[in-house]
């Protein structure tokens, strides 16, 4: 039986166009709202065509001392130039990036995932401190 966790790929986001980039402050105030932005292809552009695109990104937070992470949100990208006239015939495209707003009283790890319709599942993580 396959393990889902083993199917996620990872790499340096500065060299690999599929890894979700996590942009957030290193330290946030206890109980104060802050933004976390996820994007794909920050340094190396990812295609956004009917044939090759990012379908979704997801954000989770695993607070220190907690058993399980909490899902913060998921953004789906569904317009990639497809239309009734054929692939890449539309002028409507979504951008594979999203900003989530959250708060926490505990430090922990921001966990991001993404899905490319050709190259599968990708992940990244970033530590978060709370003052």
Residue 53 bears catalytic tag: no
17 carries an active-site annotation: yes
Q: CA 11 from chain center: how many Å?
A: 14
Active-site residue, selected from the candidate residues 14, 30, 32, 52: 52
**Catalytic-residue membership of 96:** no
**Among the options 42, 62, 119, 126, which is catalytic?**
119
Active-site residue, from 46, 53, 80, 96: 46
Task: Tell me if residue 95 is catalytic.
Answer: no
Contact 7, 119 (CB under 8 A): no
Per annotation, catalytic residue among 14, 18, 23, 80: 18
Three-state DSSP at 79 gives coil
> CA-to-CA distance for 131 and 121, rounded, in angstroms?
33
- Going through the chain in order, the beta strands assigned E by DSSP cover 20-23, 27-28, 34-40, 54-63, 70-76, 97-102, 108-116, 120-130
Active site residue 119: yes
Catalytic residue from among 17, 53, 80, 96: 17
Largest CA distance in the chain: 54
- Residue 16 designated active-site: yes
**Enzyme catalytic residues:** 16-18, 46, 52, 116, 119
């Amino acid at each position: 039986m396959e393990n889902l966790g083993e199917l996620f790929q990872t790499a340096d986001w500065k060299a690999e166009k599929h890894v979700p980039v996590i942009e957030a402050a290193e330290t946030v105030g206890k109980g104060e709202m802050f933004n976390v932005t996820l994007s794909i292809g920050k340094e190396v552009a990812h295609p956004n065509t009917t044939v090759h695109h990012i379908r979704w990104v997801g954000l989770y937070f695993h607070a220190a001392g907690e058993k399980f992470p909490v899902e913060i949100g998921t953004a789906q990208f569904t317009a990639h130039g497809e239309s009734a006239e054929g692939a890449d015939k539309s002028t409507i495209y979504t951008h594979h990036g999203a900003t989530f707003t959250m708060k926490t009283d505990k430090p922990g790890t921001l966990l991001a995932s993404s899905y490319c319709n050709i190259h599968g599942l990708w992940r990244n993580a970033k530590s978060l401190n709370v003052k």
